[in-house]
Amino acid sequence: MVSAQLHFLCLLTLYLTCGYGEEGKFSGPLKPMTFSIFEGQEPSQVIFQFKTNPPAVTFELTGETDGIFKIEKDGLLYHTRALDRETRAVHHLQLAALDSHGAIVDGPVPITIEVKDINDNRPTFLQSKYEGSVRQNSRPGKPFMYVNATDLDDPATPNGQLFYQIVIQLPQINDVMYFQIDSKTGAISLTPEGSQELDPVKNPSYNLVVSVKDMGGQSENSFSDTTYVDISIRENIWKAPEPVEIRENSTDPHPIKITQVQWNDPGAQYSLVNKEKLSPFPFSIDQEGNIYVTQALDREEKNSHVFFATAKDENGKPLAYPLEIYVKVIDINDNPPTCLSPVTVFEVQENEPLGNSIGIFEAHDMDEANNINSILKYKLVDQTPKVPSDGLFLIGEYEGKVQLSKQSLKKQDSPQYNLSIEVSDVDFKTLCYIQVNVIDINDQIPIFETSNYGSKTLSEDTAIGSTILIIQATDADEPFTGSSKILYKIVQGDTEGRLEVVTDPTTNAGYVKIKKPLDFETQPVSSIVFQAENPEPLVKGIEYNASSFASFELIVTDVNEVPVFPQRIFQANVSEDAAVGSRVGNVTARDPEGLTVSYSLKGNMRGWLKIDSVTGEIFSAAPLDRETESAYRVQVVATEVGGSSLSSTADFHLVLTDVNDNPPRLAKDYTGLFFCHPLSAPGSLIFEVTDDDQQSLRRPKFTFALGREGLQSDWEVSKINGTHARLSTRHTRFEEQVYNIPIRINDGGQPPMEGTVFLPVTFCQCVEGSCFRPAGRQDGIPTVGMAVGILLTTFLVIGIILAVVFIRMRKDKVENPQSPENKPLRS
C-alpha cells in the first residue's frame, strides 16, 4: 500500500513539474485521442490526464496494453517501461469511465499510441561478398548487378532510409571512378569513364568496397555496414565499324555489302534506325549483321549518311547502345558550274581609281567543295559597249574579283557596261553575265530655296500628324540617286522631339509635322533650324555650308486643358477587414494651367469609398467584403477649380485581400442521403464541404468531427482529403426514420473558422435500390376519414335540396289544380 502511494506521488510530482496540469493541453475530457511517443523513453512517463464527471469515479484501460500502459483512478495515463517500435508500432487501447459499481458510464473511446521511431538499428547487407561481371563499353548508368541491405527501423523516417556508396575501387587509375552505385537502390553500373576505359586486357577484374548508411547518409551519427564486390570485365565486340566510303552514281548491281556489325552472343536480332527519315532508306541489314547499300547514291543530293545499327533480344529489348554507321559519298565530276543569278549587277562611281575592286563575282558548282571537281576558273570573254575602248575591265582567274584595268569611267561615255564571263571546271564550261552601272558622284550639296521661313503661330492642341510647314531644298546631282535624295533633320530648337520632317521621295519637299503634343506652358516660342543632307557621303573636299540650313519661328498659344493624371489606372491592395475610415490609396492630378484641382468619385455603386476633395486621398466609407466583390472599381474625377471647370477621369482599382471570415458549409444539397432499412452491414456516405473564402494552396484543409459526443456510439466521421469526408454507421441497429447528424468542421485558417452542418440521413425500405417512402399526410390534404365525411355531407345536402324541391312542386299542384278542358286557350 505504501509502495503504491509512493509510486502515485512520484507520477503526480512528475506530472506537475512537467507542466501536464495545464487544462486542455495535457488534460481534458474523455474522448478519442492519439498520442505519439518516441521509443526508448524512460518508464513512468505521464501521457495525459483524462477527466470525467460524476457518477464516474474511476477508469478502465483495455486493448493492446502489453502490460506497459496504466491509468490511475484520477485518469492519469502513463507507461511503465520503454516502448519498442520494432515490437509494436501502434498500440490500440480502449478507455472507459466507470461508476462506483464498476458500470461503464462513458466510453469506451479509442486511444491510439503511436510509437515514433528512433535510430536504434544498424543496416545490414544480405551478403558479405557479391560477385558480378560486365562487358566493356556497356551502356553507362545501366545496372548490371545489385547489392541489398536491410534496416529494422521505420522506412518512412530517415532512420530507415538507406544510402549506398562506393568507398573503395581497386585498382583506381588516375583517381577516376569506373563504377557508380544508385544511392537508394544499390544498383551498380558503369560511369561514362568506365564505359569508355574498361579493358579486360589491361585489368580483367576490379574490387569494390560498398558501404550502406541509414539516416539517408545525411547524419554524422548514422549507422553503417560494408560489403565486398568482385567484378570481372568481359570483352565487348559490339563496336562501331570504321567509316564507309561509297562512290556516287555507282552502276554496280545492288545491294552491295559495305560493312558488318556483330553482338557479343549469338541470337541477336539486328535492325537499322533511319533517324534522318530518308524515304526510301537506301540501306539494309541481315540477321548476320551484314549491312548493304540498296541503290546508287547521289553526293549532290546527300554527301553523307548517318544511321544506327541496333541489337535486341528475343523480346525486342535493346542489348546495348545502338552503333553509329557513317557512310561518306565520294564525289565525281557530274555537275557543270552554275551562275548564282541570270545577271550580276555591280555599281562603280565615275571617279573610281584604277585597280579598285568593283565587286567579287561568284559562280557555284554542286560537286564537293575544296575538290578538283569544284574548283572554278573565271575568264572575261566580252565587253559591251567597247567605248571609249575595249578591255576596260579584268577579272581574277580564281578569285573572281572585277577591277578597272585602263581608266576611270565617265557616265557621259556610257552609263552601263555588260560583261560576259566564262566559268569552267575540269570538264564543263558555263557563260555568266555581269552588268556594271556607272553612278554619279555626290559632289553637290542640297541648297534651301530660302534660309528663313518666317514664323508660324499654332494652338497647343494642334492635332498630332498635322502638317504645319513645307520646306524645299534642291540638289544638282543625278536625280533619284543617293547623291540627290534629300533628308531633312531638325538640329536646333526642338529638344523634346515634338516635330518631324517627312521627305517626299519624288519632289524632295520636306513636310514639317506635329509628332508630339505642343505645350505652351513648357515652350511657348521655339526657333527651329533645319539641315538638308544626302544619304550618300559627299566626295572628299566637299562640305555642307550655310546654304543647307534654314530656320523658322514656332509660336504656341495657350489652350485651357483638362487636369492630367500621371497614369490612367491606380491600384491599391487592402485587407477586406480594414476598418471604416482607413486610408486605402491616393490619386493626384495636375492642371497644366496651374489651377487647383478638386477630386470626386464616380461609379461608387456600393458606397464603399470616399475621397478627400483636396488631397485625393481615398478612404473606406463602409465595411468591405471580398466575397461580394474582390476588385472594387471606381472612377476618380479631377475638376479644375475656376476657369472652365474642365475635368478628366482615371480608374481606381481596390483589390481586396482575403480574411478568413466565412465558416465552412456543405458544397451542395445532401437531402437525398439514405440507407436501406434494415442495414445488413455498417455503411458509409461521402460528403463535400467548402467555404466562401479565397482558397490557397498553403492553407490547411478542413478537419471534421461529430457535432455531439453522444453520437459516437452510432456514427463515425473520417477525413478522406482536405475537402471530403466519410460519415459511417458503427452498427446496424437503426430505426426507420430520418436522422439529422451534426458535423463540426474547422477550416484551419487564421483565425480558424468553425461551423456545424447537418446531414439528413434517411433509413427506409428500398425497392430496386431506391428508397420507398409511403406518402404521409401533408398540410392542406384531408385524411381518408375526412374525405369520407365530406363526401357523405355532400350527398346529404343534395338529398335535402331535392326533397325541398319535390315537396314544393306537390304543394303547387294541390293549390292550382287544372284539367285539360280548363286550360286557357293561347291567342
Task: Examine the pLDDT at 309 and tell me if it is beyond 50.
Answer: yes
Model pLDDT, residue 1: 41
In 3D space, the residue among 556, 552, 589 whose CA is nearest the CA of residue 570 turns out to be 589
Model pLDDT, residue 813: 57
Residue 74 shares a structural domain with residue 142 = no
For residue 816, name the pLDDT band (cuts at 50, 70, 90).
Answer: low
Model pLDDT, residue 697: 57
Q: Is 392 helix (H, G, I), strand (E, B) or coil?
A: coil
For residue 11, name the pLDDT band (cuts at 50, 70, 90).
Answer: very low
Proportion of the chain above pLDDT 90, given as a percent: 54
Proportion of the chain above pLDDT 70, given as a percent: 92
130 found inside a domain: yes
pTM of the full structure: 0.35
Alpha carbon distance 225, 246 (integer Å): 59
Residue 107 shares a structural domain with residue 128 = no
Residue 535 shares a structural domain with residue 550 = yes
The bridge status of strand 684-690 relative to strand 609-611 is: unpaired
Model pLDDT, residue 19: 37
Give CA torsion, residues 343, 345, 351, 356, to 10 deg: -90
The tally of CA atoms less than 13 A away on the side-chain side of residue 685 is 18
Model pLDDT, residue 508: 94
Task: Examine the pLDDT at 344 and tell me if it is beyond 90.
Answer: yes
Give the domain extent around 502.
Answer: 446-557
Which distant-in-sequence residues (6+ apart) come within 8 Å of 485 by Cβ? 475, 503, 505, 508, 534, 535, 536
Alpha carbon distance 198, 543 (integer Å): 76
Residue 342 shares a structural domain with residue 417 = yes
For residue 783, name the pLDDT band (cuts at 50, 70, 90).
Answer: low
The letter for the amino acid at 501 is V
Lowest mean pLDDT among 22-31, 88-97, 435-444, 750-759: 22-31
Model pLDDT, residue 775: 52
4 found inside a domain: no
Q: What is the arithmetic mean of pLDDT over 396-405?
A: 94
821 found inside a domain: no
The one-character DSSP state at 767 is: E
Alpha carbon distance 368, 354 (integer Å): 36
pLDDT, tens digit (0-9, with 9 covering 90-100), for 587-625: 999 888 778 899 999 999 999 999 999 999 999 999 998
Model pLDDT, residue 46: 86
Q: Tell me the Ramachandran region of residue 102: left when phi exceeds 0, alpha when psi lies from -120 to 50, beta otherwise.
A: left
Residue 617 shares a structural domain with residue 709 = no
Q: What is the arithmetic mean of pLDDT over 715-721?
A: 91
Residue 191 shares a structural domain with residue 216 = yes
Alpha carbon distance 438, 350 (integer Å): 6
Which one of 116, 146, 180 terminates a domain? 116
Residue 415 shares a structural domain with residue 450 = no
Contact in structure between 754 and 662 (CB atoms under 8 Å): no
Residue 314 shares a structural domain with residue 212 = no
pLDDT, tens digit (0-9, with 9 covering 90-100), for 353-372: 888 889 999 999 988 888 88
pLDDT, tens digit (0-9, with 9 covering 90-100), for 212-226: 999 888 888 889 999
6 found inside a domain: no
| Count of structural domains, the chain | 7
For residue 618, list its beta bridge partners.
585, 611
Task: Examine the pLDDT at 9 and tell me if it is beyond 70.
Answer: no
In 3D space, the residue among 420, 419, 428, 390 whose CA is nearest the CA of residue 407 turns out to be 390
Which one of 116, 133, 168 terminates a domain? 116
Residue 41 shares a structural domain with residue 68 = yes
Average pLDDT over the chain, rounded to an integer: 87
Task: Examine the pLDDT at 700 and tell me if it is beyond 70.
Answer: no
In angstroms, the Cα distances linking 304 to 276, 289, 326, 369, 475 are 11, 21, 7, 14, 59
Lowest mean pLDDT among 161-175, 392-406, 698-712: 698-712
Which distant-in-sequence residues (6+ apart) come within 8 Å of 709 by Cβ? 31
Which one of 116, 135, 156 terminates a domain? 116
Task: Examine the pLDDT at 750 and tell me if it is beyond 50.
Answer: yes
803 found inside a domain: no
484 found inside a domain: yes
524 found inside a domain: yes
pLDDT, tens digit (0-9, with 9 covering 90-100), for 456-504: 999 888 899 999 999 999 998 888 888 889 999 999 999 989 999 999 9
Residue 349 shares a structural domain with residue 435 = yes
pLDDT, tens digit (0-9, with 9 covering 90-100), for 617-629: 999 999 998 888 8
For residue 436, name the pLDDT band (cuts at 50, 70, 90).
Answer: very high
For residue 16, name the pLDDT band (cuts at 50, 70, 90).
Answer: very low
For residue 555, name the pLDDT band (cuts at 50, 70, 90).
Answer: very high
Which distant-in-sequence residues (6+ apart) come within 8 Å of 214 by Cβ? 119, 121, 122, 123, 151, 153, 158, 159, 160, 161, 162, 163, 222, 223, 224
Lowest mean pLDDT among 108-117, 640-649, 762-771, 815-824: 815-824
- Please give the grid coordinates belonging to residue 758: 447537418
22 found inside a domain: no
The bridge status of strand 224-234 relative to strand 205-213 is: antiparallel
Cα Dmax for the chain: 163
In 3D space, the residue among 366, 374, 358, 364 whose CA is nearest the CA of residue 434 turns out to be 358
Model pLDDT, residue 14: 41
Residue 457 shares a structural domain with residue 547 = yes
| Better-scored residue on pLDDT, 775 or 439 | 439
Model pLDDT, residue 562: 82
| Better-scored residue on pLDDT, 772 or 419 | 419
For residue 375, name the pLDDT band (cuts at 50, 70, 90).
Answer: very high
411-437 burial: b if 16+ Cβ within 10 Å, else e: eeebeebebebbbbbeebebebbbebe
Task: Examine the pLDDT at 328 and tell me if it is beyond 70.
Answer: yes
Residue 261 shares a structural domain with residue 346 = no
Alpha carbon distance 346, 351 (integer Å): 15
pLDDT, tens digit (0-9, with 9 covering 90-100), for 91-103: 999 999 999 888 9
CATH of the domain at 274: 2.60.40.60
Task: Examine the pLDDT at 237 and tell me if it is beyond 80.
Answer: yes
